Structure 1
Amino acid sequence: MNIIIENMFFGIVISLIAFELGKIIYNKTKLPIFNPLLTSIIIVIVILKIFNIDFELYNKGGQFINMFLGPATVILAVPLYKQLLLLKKNFVPIIIGISIGSVVSVISVILLSTVFNLDKEIIISLIPKSVTTPIGVEISNSLGGITGITVMAVILTGITGAIIAPTVCKIFKINNPVARGIGIGTASHAVGTSKALEIGETEGAMSSLAIGIAGLITVVVAPICLDILTKLL
């Protein structure tokens, strides 16, 4: 048993099996709460706890999955390319929408964290919650945050966005596919984009665009907002 657990492929196999089970559960229920990523995380945690497996042993192989985060994000450019004419037509409102959404995301984290009297290190770790993991981790590291908290914040934000996005669009009668895609991608990065792709091709394309631009804007805005607001508060 120890030989299997200590093998680097153990983490990879467990992760893939957990995600496939998550997909099966989601496809059977079609309930947003059973997002495959959330379900797979819970399955992995349960397995590690039941068999008393150290996270370090699991992560020997599990860490290699992180290598594919960047390429997987780049692949999202494919649906965007198919909607290039729509992008050119709505370029200005798209850029303005993503910019405002990114700035509001950073400022809201800082203000709410300050209200709840969180440590500065925790605040920094939560700031990149709405950008994709590779960019979020780099922002957190550069500002002095805790990588583990950042990753968890990014995952929870993405899953929450994927779950509530259709309901929010319905309640506020957001029917324009460009607006829906930009909103979902700016708020909940790649995980939200997976849901946007389910809603429609245009939504998916705009959401994938928002991931990259929101990441770049957050890289610039995060340290500036943090410095200004910490001085004022």
Structure 2
Amino acid sequence: MSLDYHAAWQAVIHHPLFGLGITLAVYQLALAGYERTRSVLFQPVLFSMVVVIGVLLACGLAYDEYRDSVLPLTLLLGPATVALAVPLFLNMRRIRQLFWPIVLTLSIAGVFATLTGVLVAWLLGAEPLMLMTLAPKSVTSPIAMLVAEQIGGVAALAAVFVMITGVLGAISGPSILRRLRVTHPAAQGMALGLTAHAVGTSRALQDSTESGAFAALAMSLMGVTTAVILPLVVALIA
């Protein structure tokens, strides 16, 4: 009895668990490689994204089919986000002690993080549509997409800018902070959370619980502030 290898292969790649298994396997491989080498090439989000895209293209799988396969992971994003409250709770006393520095940092760095990307794009001759898409680049994807749509940007493209910002921030942020001699865990966490949102928070958690707590706090405050204030500012300017 001959075995139809093509049919068997198609059955494997179209199995409902194929996308889920590939995603988990690639991410674990990225974590192992990054922990051993600390190489930028193994940055978990970047490495996983590139490899998974390559697998989808090589197997000829449509994104819709992959999205349905990894739906359980998507559903776990909510609990994972809520779980960031744990380091916040554990460091609540420290957060209260640094309340006014946190407010000052959010006010200055939040505005700077929003304006720098828009200003650089404007100097390079970007259209207003692109400027509005870039403005919420330093907050998490769901908030960035909603804000971009409200202020006249492109929601899908805003998610791409958010991903690029997060990956670059997680890769270069710690080394830049070290060169600037920013060694305080709270300061490092605030910087990563404000500029690199969830990816930066994940990177901060690898350093210490305190750094991760302040990164989660900064990410949350930056998201809420951007969602409330940015549409109002754009409406006033327009």
Q: Give TM-score, length-normalised by structure 2.
A: 0.87
Distance (Å, rounded) in 2 between the aligned partners of 1:61 and 1:151: 21
Residue 160 of structure 1: SS of its match in structure 2?
A: helix
Q: Structure 2: which 5+ runs fail to align?
A: 1-8
Q: How many residues align?
A: 230
Matching of residue 77 in structure 1 with residue 76 in structure 2: no
Distance (Å, rounded) in 2 between the aligned partners of 1:99 and 1:69: 28
Counterparts of residues 64-143 of structure 1 (less than 5 Å): 64-143=72-151
Distance (Å, rounded) in 2 between the aligned partners of 1:173 and 1:16: 36
Does the CA-based 8 Å contact 1:129-1:136 persist in structure 2?
yes
Distance change (3 Å), C-alpha of 1:76 and 1:111 = same
Q: Sequence identity of aligned pairs in percent?
A: 31
* Structure 1 residue 42 displacement after superposition: 0.8
Which residue among 49, 59, 71 is the counterpart of 1:51? Answer: 59
Does the CA-based 8 Å contact 1:32-1:162 persist in structure 2?
no
Distance change (3 Å), C-alpha of 1:108 and 1:140 = same
Greater RCO (CA < 8 Å, at least 6 residues apart): 1
Distance (Å, rounded) in 1 between the aligned partners of 2:70 and 2:198: 19
Whichever residue aligns with residue 218 of structure 2, its letter is A
Does the CA-based 8 Å contact 1:186-1:211 persist in structure 2?
yes
* Alpha-carbon displacement from aligned partner over 1:170-221 (angstroms, at most 9, x marks no partner): 1111122221111111111111112212222211111111111010111123
Distance (Å, rounded) in 2 between the aligned partners of 1:60 and 1:146: 24
* Alpha-carbon displacement from aligned partner over 1:73-112 (angstroms, at most 9, x marks no partner): 2211111111111111110110220222222222222222
Q: Give TM-score, length-normalised by structure 1.
A: 0.88
Does the CA-based 8 Å contact 2:150-2:231 persist in structure 1?
no
Structure 1 or 2: more helix by fraction: 1
Whichever residue aligns with residue 174 of structure 1, its letter is V
